[in-house]
Amino acid sequence: MLEEGVNSMFWKEDVDEFLAWVQLERGLSLHTVESYENDLVQFGRFLEESSVSHWDEVDEAATGKFLQKLTEENFETTTLARKLSALRGFSRFRERERGARSLTEIVRGPRAGRKVPTSLTIEETLRLLEAPSTATPHGLRDRAILELLYGSGLRVSELTGLLLQSVDLDNRFVRVFGKGSKERMVPVGGGALKAFRDYLNAGRPSLVKPKTGSEVFLSQRGSPISRKTVWHLVKSHGERAGITKPVKPHLLRHSFATHLLEGGADLRTIQEMLGHADIATTQIYTRVEGERLLDEHSRFHPRNRDEF
């Protein structure tokens, strides 16, 4: 939670929700989330010192002075890039969730290179998918969630917002609404299809309560499952599967894309299934595949062996 007195007019209402979103949906580490909070508090204090009391008063001059102040404090380029990334991300979040004015065009500065996403191996993925017990309604639900996150590459928000009327298992696809409320059709693979049907037939009916709506995935109370619950169940099943790397929902989305690319899928097809507006966002997975190929080459090509 932000401390009292920091830009109470527009700061405190949205920052906590933004921080929860970047941790639970984007899968950022707790350390990064805490850094983002400090960065936003720092910007809030700067605005107060500049007598700016409302988001609409933030202009290019204000952000330019903030960037100059950061530069004068001799922050490393990566730290400076992270601070501006926090501000850009918060601006985009408020624009999407609140219809607020965007600052992304006037907040300019160095950008850190995009980090190559981590993914599970296929063996790790299979262990994770088999971790939930299918003997209980919750286990059936969790198995279906894991299968769909990996088998269709859904974002957490897309999964938690999935409605029964958006599911067409006969034709093996689901209709989801991604960023910017853009609709797309996503195929459902064989493993996810079976887990999905098992959950709908034998799991979900046990979770339904009198006021339950048409959301597919339900909590114990019969309400739509939350992003936080999905984050925790993915983490706990990862631990149960004996996976040592941090297992988060977005890791399954990364694994979905990486394994498709390794299998020979076209990059444009992966872009469409992930719902990326820009092919450049999808191209990060080619770096993952490139690193894998380099590793395989160094391990197995005879000219790379010490004994050659």
A 10 A CB-CB count for 282 gives 20
Confirm whether 127 is a catalytic residue: no
Confirm whether 141 is a catalytic residue: no
Active-site pick, 237, 250, 254, 259:
250
* CA-based nearest residue to 166, from 143, 191, 200: 200
Confirm whether 179 is a catalytic residue: yes
Write out the two tokens for 82.
């992270």
Active-site pick, 88, 155, 204, 237:
155
Active-site pick, 179, 209, 268, 297:
179
Active-site pick, 36, 150, 199, 285:
285
3-state secondary structure the chain: CCCCCCCCCCCHHHHHHHHHHHHHCCCCCHHHHHHHHHHHHHHHHHHHHCCCCCHHHCCHHHHHHHHHHHHHCCCCHHHHHHHHHHHHHHHHHHHHHHCCCCCCCCCCCCCCCCCCCCCCCHHHHHHHHCCCCCCCHHHHHHHHHHHHHHHHCCCHHHHHCCEHHHEECCCCEEEEECHHHCEEEEECCHHHHHHHHHHHHHHHHHHCCCCCCCECCECCCCCECCHHHHHHHHHHHHHHCCCCCCCCHHHHHHHHHHHHHHCCCCHHHHHHHHCCCCHHHHCHHHHHHHHHHHHHHHHHCHHHCCCC
Confirm whether 268 is a catalytic residue: no
* CA-based nearest residue to 61, from 25, 13, 103: 103
* CA-based nearest residue to 56, from 99, 97, 18, 85: 99
Confirm whether 82 is a catalytic residue: no
Confirm whether 285 is a catalytic residue: yes
**CA–CA distance, 15 with 85 (Å, rounded to integer):** 14
Annotated catalytic residues are: 155, 179, 250, 253, 276, 285
